[in-house]
Copies of this chain bind each other. A is one copy, B any other.
């Protein structure tokens, strides 16, 4: 039995539940910069691509079979699939698929993957009501702001304690987004946040299992239902987030309320959202990026003799697997990531297929990689030196990998990522149409036009 550690309650927290609710209910439509507006479209596009890409995965199929026991109404689409289910279960399943490949967005300040809970919930609701793209984008920006500001308030202690912060803050973000889409007033939005506050979803212990991607799905479902309950007059504590026995103080030992109130309505957390270029843990991204760049400079699996990496200690701690046996293990191998970057010029989900991880040239290439820890190297950086058969060497230093806030994925990068995931599922024509409709989403009179192309 561990020692009890009583945490002193903060009795004087500002009324952040109500402050957030008023913000969500009353902030003007498109009340932000063009840059924020564009980032919302990028976030939505990236989310949808990930959901389509993983839509045939066995975890999605298992979840769908479980949901079908309920004989759900055919209200809403499941990205990349023909089946339709009720909006709550569509939120659940799309939330699962969008996070399955570990390839979704990341709010780097909190490592929340905010689109999963928020977009999955609000798109299902928007489809049912025939909401406009404008309403959808407004709800996405505001819902993500709520989830990430609450995340900023309790991070890192909350995460350190063992919560998967994507699902625990995601219920609140999804509730906020759905309350906005439903047009709830401040009082009812306060209740929606209150109901959602009682439903944090997610433990870090689940990493490596299907329950990890369940977390954003469960949060999406919980948030959506919280908003529907609030609309019907269901009540909750109006101080459910900040009270001594409310969400923040129960799930964290740090609660920095300023993170919720500072520049609310001026600074939007979606601005700090990033998108993964590689379908693996973010700590390997600089090394893969370096290998993609070496490939661009003529380094190949054939002419390479040896690749020396100088990396931050976390890289080997988390991803030091030398001989991964399958795709999942490959995600924890900087060696495989480098081989993929050198041979394929990328490391998307395909490069984590079991067959690829065990392909002869891939195995031979990863065995040429020698990684050593260098304490002078930052977590976001890598030094890579390729020694070639002709005796020459090529050196690359990456300070910020592609996909970081300093070197964000371009719109073209995001489209290429989307295309790679979507074409095998939906075909080229629908994929092109979907991409176009994502970029012009805020102008769409009815989101159902886009939805019709997504399955």
The interface of chain A, by Cβ under 8 A from chain B, is 1-10, 58-59, 62-63, 65-66, 69-73, 75, 86-88, 128, 157, 160-164, 167, 194-195, 197-206, 208-211, 214-215, 218, 222, 225, 228-229, 231-237, 239-240, 243-247, 249-250, 253-256
Contacts and interface: CB of A to CB of B under 8 A. Distances in A.
A167 B69 CA distance: 24
A19 to B, nearest CB: 17
A236 B209 contact: yes
Contact of A72 (B59, B86, B244): B86
Given A206-B240, A233-B58, A7 B3 contact: yes
Contacts of A255: 1-2
A5 to B, nearest CB: 4
Given A2-B10, A253-B2, A256-B1, A206 B229 contact: no
28 contacts: A1-B256, A2-B7, A2-B10, A2-B249, A3-B7, A5-B7, A5-B253, A59-B234, A62-B233, A62-B234, A63-B234, A69-B228, A70-B75, A70-B87, A72-B86, A167-B198, A195-B211, A197-B203, A198-B201, A198-B202, A203-B246, A203-B247, A204-B245, A205-B243, A206-B237, A206-B240, A210-B234, A214-B229
Nearest to A228: B66
Contacts of A229: 62-63, 66, 214
A70 B89 CA distance: 9
- What is the oligomeric copy number? 2
A211 B239 contact: no
A235 B209 contact: yes
B4 A163 contact: no
Highest count of chain B CB atoms <10 Å: which of A2, A7, A247: A2
A66 B203 contact: no
A312 to B, nearest CB: 23
Contacts of A197: 203, 205
Given A66-B231, A203-B246, 14 more contacts: A3-B253, A63-B229, A63-B232, A66-B225, A69-B228, A198-B202, A200-B200, A203-B240, A205-B240, A205-B244, A205-B247, A205-B250, A210-B236, A211-B240
Contacts of A69: 87, 128, 228
A255 to B, nearest CB: 6
A160 B244 CA distance: 11
Nearest to A227: B66
A250 B201 CA distance: 12
A246 B205 contact: yes
Contacts of A162: 244-246, 249-250
A1 to B, nearest CB: 5
B88 A232 contact: no
A422 to B, nearest CB: 25
A204 to B, nearest CB: 4
A195 to B, nearest CB: 5
B245 A203 contact: yes
Contact of A234 (B4, B203, B214): B214
B211 A65 contact: no
Contact of A198 (B1, B195, B218, B247): B218
Given A194-B209, A195-B214, A234-B62, A250 B3 contact: no
